[in-house]
Structure 1
Amino acid sequence: MEFMAGGRVEVRITLADVGKRVSVRRLTGGGPGEAAFTDAVGVLTSWDAGVLSITRRSGETVRIDEASLIAGKVVPAAPARRRVPAATTRELQQVAARGWPAVETERLGEWTLRASGGFTRRANSVLPLGDPGLPLDAALERIGRWYGARGLPPTIVVATGRADGDEALAAELDRRGWTAERHTSVRIAALAPLADTDAPGGAAPRVALSREPAAQWLALYNRTGDGSGPTADALKVLTGGPSVWFATVPAPDGSAAAIGRVVIDGRWAGFAAVEVAPAQRRQGLATLMMAALAQRALDEGASAAYLQVEADNDGARGLYDRLGFADHHGYHYRRALPGAAG
């Protein structure tokens, strides 16, 4: 890794480079048998309170004290791959969990209990990756108490459809009376073709990108049903993740015609909250907005895309078919009916 500039080693990155792909070198002590410094390459996802967070292509996040930096520079993104990526179910589960992070988590062996005030099942369900560290009945009893203390129904997300899925767990939960709900497909695609997609009919309104959701964005996304807007927990989930961007296509009256969200995590770009106002549909705005988010993700070094779509959402599935997404695996939620959690 070369940092020399005119014969000198320099730190040539600043807070303004957050969101860019960088290469840094830091001091690490250099004791007996140890290297004096280490290098890291990835997306600079934050620089807060003197600590840099760099997300590598693998999804690993490295935290670095700025006082330990001896060199750093912005580097070009790796060439984007144009084929559908290979991935395991576990990798996608972990990436998706980081991209839609729960407000509160607790470990139960290799399982993660997640709660976010009831905002979305993804952020209020158990992610079972591996062994819970307890016999299943004891683990389910612990889960029931944990969610009951938060006024939430005990819920477990179960991946299916591939050899590395959780069909055995699904069968055990079915036997114990945990009902299956909300069947969903995880779909993946190469990112570069998505960024190159033109909106049908040549639609070309401006797409505004921001790090925080604007009022117009939140108004279209509003899921409370009563106009009160998102809760504090909902905002924490929406804005959480390694590198989050919000897209808004403005309508002539100043409201949002279309919105979307992408979270960039190593090689992955996760799309969510894709909404088009009813009066603005069938104009290619969702395609235009997703292409803009895909280009931003490419600029930060991502090469692959993923999203989740409910199995019965035919309109969304048709859109994602046209954009090159293919099914990877499925998942559904298992909810404990009264008397089934203990």
Structure 2
Amino acid sequence: MDGRPVFRDVIGVLESWDDHGLTVVPRNGEAVTFPEDLLVAGKPVPLFPARRVPRPEAGPGELMAVAARGWPAVEQERLGDWTLRASAGFTRRANSVAATGDPGLPLPAALEAVRDWYGARGLPGYLELTGDSPAGLDAELDRLGAEYAPTLLRTAALAPLARAAREPAGGAERVRLARTAGAEWTALYRRVSGDPATEEAARRVLHGGPSVWFATARAGDGTPLAIGRVAVDGVWAGFGAVEVAPHARRTGLATTVMAVLAARAAEEGATGAYLQVEADNGGAIALYDRLGFTTSHTYQYARLPRR
């Protein structure tokens, strides 16, 4: 009105700052990009306090469906009610059959079809078994000599973990968030191999999901020390890929990374946290115990023997 400039605030996570301008992701998750010459001032803003509400109620079937969306396979195909998933061998979660319901074939024929499907891709046949798997499947797998690996799906209320990111001694200022897993993040992720096909599958799986964030904690000289990933899906936030450089372990960095990711997920409306961990990974389970996670249920990966 009087000729003075009009300023607007954009509050959120600074995702990038390059020749194309600045990109900031507000709480609603919709990125805002603007040219650098429009930037007048910037300052750190405290993390949004998470709501103190209990974890959401969900049964094993719902949680497994959320987890599948948060870690989506590159290739999927239906076999009756079952879902065959393949991702060039990158993790069992993305290379196994969600064996829930009726496969539409007698079980021996269904398992042969599974073995053929994965064999055509040079992969072993894995089945993800939950309480919703069809009756008689365990007996048929035992008859074939399948090998089993128990895995825990654990849940927690998100607010206590998110609040840890606001503690002054927590080191949250060392953590940076991004929508993509850059070279430094990937260098710390031990599950990525040197095979081009597997690396491409890993990239697609890691970046899949409703709302995915990557966290990197750095030393004072910028060296990456710890990483993590969260996939936000409504009220649920799925944590994974938490890794700490060997020389930086037992310093609280894993907790710090998860806390910052939890705070970001809370800003998008999540109130519950979940993760999946192998039942024999005692070190990780002990960490998650301290962070308030408890076991929702145990499921199995059954590996079919090759012919």
Number of equivalent positions: 269
Contact 1:158 1:169 in 2 (8 A): no
Aligned residue number for residue 14 of structure 2: none
Is it true that 1:151 corresponds to 2:122 in the alignment?
A: yes
Aligned residue number for residue 174 of structure 1: 141
**Which stretches in structure 1 are left out of the alignment for 5+ residues?**
1-15, 22-42, 46-76
Contact 2:215 2:227 in 1 (8 A): yes
Question: Cα–Cα, structure 1 residues 17 and 111, in superposed 2: closer, same or farther, change >3 Å?
Answer: farther
Is it true that 1:80 corresponds to 2:51 in the alignment?
A: yes
Query: What is the SS of the residue equivalent to 1:316?
Result: helix
Is it true that 1:288 corresponds to 2:256 in the alignment?
A: yes
Is it true that 1:183 corresponds to 2:154 in the alignment?
A: no
Question: Cα–Cα, structure 1 residues 278 and 215, in superposed 2: closer, same or farther, change >3 Å?
Answer: same
Contact 2:149 2:301 in 1 (8 A): yes
**After superposition, what is the alpha-carbon deviation per residue over 1:221-270, rounded to whole angstroms, capped at 9, x for unaligned?**
04346698961111000100110000000124433111000000111100
Is it true that 1:128 corresponds to 2:117 in the alignment?
A: no
Q: Following the alignment from structure 1 to structure 2, what is the Cα–Cα distance between the partners of residues 228 and 105?
A: 20
Is it true that 1:277 corresponds to 2:245 in the alignment?
A: yes
Query: For residue 97 of structure 2, what is the amino acid of its counterpart?
Result: V
> Aligned match of 2:284 in 308, 313, 316?
316
Query: For residue 122 of structure 1, what is the amino acid of its counterpart?
Result: R
How far is the alpha carbon of 1:131 from its aligned partner?
1.3
Aligned residue number for residue 139 of structure 1: 110
Is it true that 1:299 corresponds to 2:299 in the alignment?
A: no
Aligned residue number for residue 89 of structure 1: 60
Q: What TM-score do you get using the length of structure 1 for normalisation?
A: 0.72
Q: Following the alignment from structure 1 to structure 2, what is the Cα–Cα distance between the partners of residues 328 and 169?
A: 24
CA RMSD of aligned residues (A): 2.9
Aligned residue number for residue 195 of structure 1: 162
Q: Following the alignment from structure 1 to structure 2, what is the Cα–Cα distance between the partners of residues 219 and 298?
A: 28
Query: For residue 286 of structure 1, what is the amino acid of its counterpart?
Result: A
> Aligned match of 2:86 in 115, 136, 151?
115
Q: Following the alignment from structure 1 to structure 2, what is the Cα–Cα distance between the partners of residues 200 and 179?
A: 48
Aligned residue number for residue 205 of structure 2: 237
Question: Cα–Cα, structure 1 residues 139 and 44, in superposed 2: closer, same or farther, change >3 Å?
Answer: farther
Q: Following the alignment from structure 1 to structure 2, what is the Cα–Cα distance between the partners of residues 300 and 199?
A: 17
How far is the alpha carbon of 1:154 from its aligned partner?
1.2
Q: What TM-score do you get using the length of structure 2 for normalisation?
A: 0.79
Contact 2:88 2:198 in 1 (8 A): no
Deviates more, 1:282-291 or 1:226-235: 226-235
Q: Following the alignment from structure 1 to structure 2, what is the Cα–Cα distance between the partners of residues 229 and 199?
A: 40
Question: Cα–Cα, structure 1 residues 117 and 276, in superposed 2: closer, same or farther, change >3 Å?
Answer: same
Contact 1:184 1:332 in 2 (8 A): yes
Q: Highest relative contact order (Cα 8 Å, sep 6+), 1 or 2?
A: 2
Aligned residue number for residue 29 of structure 1: none
**After superposition, what is the alpha-carbon deviation per residue over 1:284-336, rounded to whole angstroms, capped at 9, x for unaligned?**
11111111100110111111110011111111111111111000011221111
**After superposition, what is the alpha-carbon deviation per residue over 1:89-114, rounded to whole angstroms, capped at 9, x for unaligned?**
11011111111000000011111000
**After superposition, what is the alpha-carbon deviation per residue over 1:53-77, rounded to whole angstroms, capped at 9, x for unaligned?**
xxxxxxxxxxxxxxxxxxxxxxxx9
Contact 1:218 1:229 in 2 (8 A): no
Query: What is the SS of the residue equivalent to 1:139?
Result: helix
How far is the alpha carbon of 1:155 from its aligned partner?
1.1
Question: Cα–Cα, structure 1 residues 169 and 97, in superposed 2: closer, same or farther, change >3 Å?
Answer: farther
Contact 1:199 1:287 in 2 (8 A): no
Q: Following the alignment from structure 1 to structure 2, what is the Cα–Cα distance between the partners of residues 270 and 228?
A: 27
Is it true that 1:338 corresponds to 2:303 in the alignment?
A: no
**Which stretches in structure 2 are left out of the alignment for 5+ residues?**
1-22, 32-47
Query: What is the SS of the residue equivalent to 2:174?
Result: coil
